[in-house]
A and B are shown apart, each in its own frame.
Chain A
Amino acid sequence: MSELLFDLSEKNRKGYTLPQRRVPQKETNKLIPNEFIRKQPARLPEVSENEVVRHFIALSRLNHHVDKGFYPLGSCTMKYNPKINENVANSACLKDLHPMQSTRLTQGALALMYELSEYLREIAGMKAVTLQPAAGAHGELVGLMLIRAYHENQGNPRQNILIPDSAHGTNPASVTISGYSAVQVKSNEKGLVDLEDLRSKLDENTAALMLTNPNTLGIFETQIAQINNMLREVGALLYMDGANLNALLGIVRPGDIGVDVLHFNLHKSFSTPHGGGGPGSGPVGVSEKLIDFLPVPKLTKNENEYCWDYDCPKSIGRVHSFYGNFGIMIRAYAYIRMLGSHGLKRVSENAIINANYLMKELESHFQLPFAGPRMHEFVLSGSKQKEQGVSTAEIAKRILDYGFHAPTVYFPLIVREAIMIEPTETESKQTLDRFAACMIDIAKEVENNPEMVKNAPHTTPVSRLDEVRAIRQPDIRYNFDNT
């Protein structure tokens, strides 16, 4: 493996020159109280500019990323980030703003945020949107807090949130953190919510159903109207996890199918970056009855001026410092403006066509659980290959040898040896064909040369990592004293 920047460090080497001082020098200890002054200088690597550049370029070549090759993780992880989004976000008039500046000096930024929330509102058919949540899971938590505030206002916060067994793991986690209990609802033989099971678990203690639509199998929940009626009968709300919104842009508006709370993932559906855990952005849209509970401050428009409204007595309060991750909002705004309403619809149409094309290419080589067309993604089962002694994990490793990233594996949990594939709208037919050929090759190898798959990857910078040790004994701190 390559050396760390610390290993490259040479005393007194540097990659910067400070400008000449134009103010009188003052002693640090006259400016900062003694207890806050470092006793030892920070142990930063001392390297020149070209060393830093070469270091990170070398690392990026060892890595796989969406600028380097196709990854079938799709919008589930992050869509391709068009470079113009970066240009817009890096313009000096936006990136040098400070959130403490007065609203008089930041009307442009507020206009951008206001318009972005209006676009999201229109796209999803919701009545109001908050941009504050920091990412998807935070959006879920905020959505659940809104649901609790609504029910508390009705006199009883209720206890349970129902979640289908195909849901993302963040759903039950957010439910638990918000103080509710997660109750699992089964899927039926079509991969949809089992209405009988839903009915048996639905009562006056149910605060909401948390539904992903299309679900994680890539199947649209066609019984949504019936589900909605069942929820209304007991006064429960409908939460929609917007993880799969990439399939619905310009086609279905969640607000029109009765959704009360929806969280968006700007990195999944609106092409913002989300590398290395953030920053992200997870706006939340609500129906009429939840508007009063939205976080403060709310961005409003008075005649010709945008301003912050803190006077919302029923609000759940603030959920993020300042107003959310503004830099990410800029990118989503640029994306929506670049595509327009027709372009956004074509995004979803192409995402759906690409997924179904790949599914047709692969369904005779792998097992395909549940019948029928899919939306923007599909889930294969590697159970046929598992019976021949090769696991999905090994197939995923072999895919790396072909220069692709592996798809999501072993999720959703209701499919054995699951292989979840989401190509997204940006991939060409040629790329899809190359990926299909790779998967078909591997299926043949499982039959004719299984050892090749079981010992993969063969061409990556490192082969099998010790995942157990990585989890149990993580070594994440540079040991200065041993050098």
Chain B
Amino acid sequence: MEIPKELLYTQEHEWILFDDSANTATIGITDYAQGELGDIVFVELPNVGATVKQMDPFGTIEAVKAVSDLFSPVTGEVVEVNSLLQDRPELINQDPYDKGWMIKVKISDSSELNSLMSPEDYKTHIS
């Protein structure tokens, strides 16, 4: 199970990569989450310009066995959406931390990052 060191995590199995210089964050779901969900067939993401709120649903993900909400690790404005996922949601299964990224958000309050889990904490959370 891959848990990259440079990321922060939520209880709901989203990861976030913070880019200090641009004050933006890239968001996706973890390797553990994609493994638990199994084959992903559809993902519904917000439009660019939408606002997301910390730990509110920002989209839904549909796997063969269940449909789940996606929870935003931070509050902010969506500045980019991975449009590849529309036709190729399997990228989330194949490459959850890179090609399977979901949205980029301009963060409104970077102190929210303090409430997220470190890679070590996330590892404990899923074991």
Contacts and interface: CB of A to CB of B under 8 A. Distances in A.
A468 B41 contact: yes
B41 A410 contact: no
Contacts of A413: 66
A393 B62 CA distance: 17
Given A393-B65, A410-B66, A471 B41 contact: yes
Contact residue range for chain B? 10 to 19
Contact of A472 (B42, B66, B67): B42
Nearest to A467: B64
A362 to B, nearest CB: 22
Interface in B21-51: 38-39, 41-42
B38 A393 contact: yes
A472 B41 contact: yes
Contacts of B67: 169
Interface in A443-470: 467-468
A451 B42 CA distance: 30
Contacts of B41: 468, 471-472
Interface of B: 38-39, 41-42, 62, 64-67, 90
Query: Which interface residue of A393, A411, A468 has the most chain B CB atoms within 10 A?
Result: A468
Contacts of A411: 66
A322 B73 CA distance: 50
A413 B67 CA distance: 10
Contacts of A409: 65
A161 B64 CA distance: 28
Interface of A: 169, 393, 409-411, 413, 467-468, 471-472
A471 B61 CA distance: 14
B39 A467 contact: yes
Contacts of B90: 468
B41 to A, nearest CB: 4
7 contacts: A393-B38, A409-B65, A413-B66, A468-B90, A471-B64, A472-B41, A472-B42
A468 B42 contact: no
Nearest to B39: A468
A393 B90 CA distance: 19
A472 to B, nearest CB: 5
A19 to B, nearest CB: 51
Nearest to A413: B66
B66 A468 contact: no
Contacts of A393: 38, 65
A254 B41 CA distance: 40
Contacts of B66: 410-411, 413
Contacts of B42: 471-472
Contacts of B38: 393
The 9 tightest CB contacts between A and B, nearest first, are A471-B41, A467-B64, A468-B39, A410-B65, A472-B41, A468-B41, A410-B66, A468-B64, A467-B39
Contacts of A467: 39, 64
Nearest to A417: B36
A397 to B, nearest CB: 13
Given A393-B38, A410-B66, A471-B41, 9 more contacts: A393-B65, A409-B65, A410-B65, A467-B39, A468-B90, A471-B42, A471-B62, A471-B64, A472-B42
Contacts of B64: 467-468, 471
Nearest to A466: B39
A403 B20 CA distance: 58
A367 B64 CA distance: 24
B59 to A, nearest CB: 16
A471 B42 CA distance: 9
Nearest to B35: A391
Contacts of A472: 41-42
Contacts of B65: 393, 409-410
Nearest to A391: B38
A468 B62 CA distance: 11
Contacts of B62: 471
A467 B67 CA distance: 15
A394 to B, nearest CB: 11
A319 to B, nearest CB: 27
A167 to B, nearest CB: 14
A62 to B, nearest CB: 22
Nearest to A416: B36
Nearest to B65: A410
Nearest to B37: A410
B73 to A, nearest CB: 19
Nearest to B41: A471
A468 B65 CA distance: 10
A410 B63 CA distance: 12
B19 to A, nearest CB: 33
A174 to B, nearest CB: 15
Nearest to A169: B67
Nearest to A392: B65
A416 to B, nearest CB: 8
A409 B38 CA distance: 13
B26 to A, nearest CB: 25
Contacts of B39: 467-468
Nearest to B38: A393
A393 to B, nearest CB: 7
A411 B62 CA distance: 15
B42 to A, nearest CB: 7
A453 to B, nearest CB: 16
A468 B37 CA distance: 13
Query: Which interface residue of A169, A409, A471 has the most chain B CB atoms within 10 A?
Result: A471
A165 B62 CA distance: 18
B121 to A, nearest CB: 20
